[in-house]
């Protein structure tokens, strides 16, 4: 029986290896390596240090905010000028016209939206601005300042000594106010001498 055992021993692999086992182990090892590589945390790419760019970023943000504010102010001033061209607004100071327009925008969301979209839809903006001008002109008619403009101008002309040409020329009110007592006395004596 010994010869059979020799055959069996020779057919059996050494230390548990078989011909098929050799290729299976290498396949298994390569699969395990692939799995381990896939599950290992990958090295995170180093993020560049952007802290040195902070001053540049803050400057760019400030510059952008400044330009946006300037653009906004220019657009509002342009709208105020457009409305101010109407005869109804000539009697009002520009600041009051601006405040009326801002209040109108606050009360009318469609007008505010048209203002915000004026670059992409200028026709809607122009229409909204004309509607605002008409609506505000109606409200202005009720103000006493606008209806009494001629009276105000006449009063200002009187105070500034810019009356009609038939008045006798004299010293302006401003010059009289700056006169010393001696100059004032001389002025009064001259005026009395002219009347006599």
pLDDT for 34: 79
User: Residue 166: what pLDDT?
Assistant: 46
- Look at residue 151 in the predicted model and tell me its pLDDT: 63
* pLDDT for residue 155: 67
pLDDT at 109: 92
pLDDT of residue 194: 79
Per residue in 78-114, is it b (16+ CB within 10 Å) or e — as a string? ebbeebbeeebbebbeeebbbebbeebbeeeeebeeb
What confidence score (pLDDT) does residue 147 get? 47
Taking only the tens place, the pLDDT of each residue in 2-56 is: 555 544 444 455 454 555 445 567 788 887 787 777 666 666 667 777 788 888 8
Spans of the chain below 70 pLDDT? 1-24, 38-45, 144-156, 160-170, 196
pLDDT value for 54: 86
Confidence at residue 144, expressed as pLDDT on a 0 to 100 scale: 67
Closest C-alpha among 84, 194, 78, 91 to residue 141: 91
Separation CA 166–CA 158 (nearest Å): 14
Q: Smallest Cα–Cα separation from 129: which of 118, 139, 119, 140? A: 118
pTM over 0.95: no
What SS3 string covers 105-169? HHHCHHHHHHHHCCCCCHHHHHHHHHHHHHHHHHHHCCCHHHHCHHHHHHHHHHHCCCCCCCCCC
């Amino acid at each position: 029986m010994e010869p059979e055992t020799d055959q069996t021993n020779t057919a059996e692999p050494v230390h548990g290896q078989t011909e098929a086992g050799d290729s299976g182990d290498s396949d298994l090892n390569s699969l395990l390596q692939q799995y381990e590589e896939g599950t290992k945390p990958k090295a995170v790419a180093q993020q560049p240090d952007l802290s040195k760019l902070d001053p540049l970023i803050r400057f760019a943000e400030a510059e952008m905010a400044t330009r946006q504010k300037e653009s906004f102010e220019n657009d509002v001033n342009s709208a105020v000028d457009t409305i101010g061209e109407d005869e109804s607004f000539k009697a009002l100071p520009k600041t009051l016209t601006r405040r009326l327009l801002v209040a109108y925008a606050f009360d009318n969301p469609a007008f505010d939206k048209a203002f915000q979209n004026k670059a992409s839809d200028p026709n809607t903006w122009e229409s909204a601005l004309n509607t605002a001008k008409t609506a505000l002109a109606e409200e202005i008619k009720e103000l006493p300042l606008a209806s009494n403009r001629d009276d105000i101008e006449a009063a200002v002309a009187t105070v500034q000594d810019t009356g009609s040409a038939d008045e006798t020329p004299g010293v302006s009110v401003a010059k009289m106010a700056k006169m010393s007592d001696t100059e004032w006395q001389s002025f009064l004596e001259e005026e009395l001498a002219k009347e006599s």
